[in-house]
Homo-oligomer: A and B are copies of this chain.
């Protein structure tokens, strides 16, 4: 029989390494539970599926909350084994406000909050939305998630500069289009912020077709902006994509070398 020391619990909760089979099984269990949770949140919104077993969804949610709560308390108790969280009080507080800690908290808090405070319907619905964010708990185990964090950190400066350029282009394009189209289409181009919806749809080339210029000058301006601007709007997303590709190819090379 395993001795359930605090140390053992810490090791079990953290990602399993070497031949710690118990810890690895626990990881698999939590990952499965997270994926089932995300699927439940998604399927719950499909009327035809939900009505067939509303209680199943409810009991599964209760079950998940119990597990995730125990996991959270366990992590909070044992996090002092990490050097950076070693202080009994300040270390634990630091863990609570770390990214991983907040993600774990966000996974259970939306369940407890309505029990403690009276809340209106709009807020309750938003709480339900937070359940889908449990997917971020996968970050502890998944490569893809770690990639995302690393890429955004690495390319922070490029992203800020290109987002500034994108914003300036969006403001200029939308202001000009607003002045050209406002009069003939007062509903679609009612204000500059509203016109920015057209700007984003055009410059990302999504082009839903809900708003578009109809005056001659508006079309000329729109054509000009589209030809010169679409590449610039592709910059931030392109930088993230380039970051991913380089990280992925690094990872594959590293694995290949082993």
Kindly state whether residue A86 has any CB partner on chain B within 8 Å: no
Kindly state whether residue A132 has any CB partner on chain B within 8 Å: yes
Residues of B within 8 A of A158 (CB): 248-249, 252
**B192 and A165 within 8 A (CB):** no
Kindly state whether residue A179 has any CB partner on chain B within 8 Å: yes
Kindly state whether residue A227 has any CB partner on chain B within 8 Å: yes
Interface string of A213-244 (1 = CB under 8 A from B): 00000010011001111111111111111001
**B41 and A192 within 8 A (CB):** yes
Residues of B within 8 A of A45 (CB): 178, 182, 190-193
Instruction: List A residues 159-189 near B (Cβ within 8 Å).
Output: 161-166, 168, 171-172, 175-176, 178-179, 182
**A193 and B236 within 8 A (CB):** no
Of the residues B196, B197, B238, B244, contact of A241 by C-beta under 8 Å: B238
Kindly state whether residue A70 has any CB partner on chain B within 8 Å: no
**A228 and B240 within 8 A (CB):** yes
Residues of B within 8 A of A230 (CB): 204, 206, 234, 237
Kindly state whether residue A66 has any CB partner on chain B within 8 Å: no
**B234 and A42 within 8 A (CB):** no
Kindly state whether residue A32 has any CB partner on chain B within 8 Å: no
Kindly state whether residue A126 has any CB partner on chain B within 8 Å: yes
Residues of B within 8 A of A43 (CB): 193
Residues of B within 8 A of A10 (CB): none
Residues of B within 8 A of A204 (CB): 205, 226-227, 230
Kindly state whether residue A98 has any CB partner on chain B within 8 Å: no
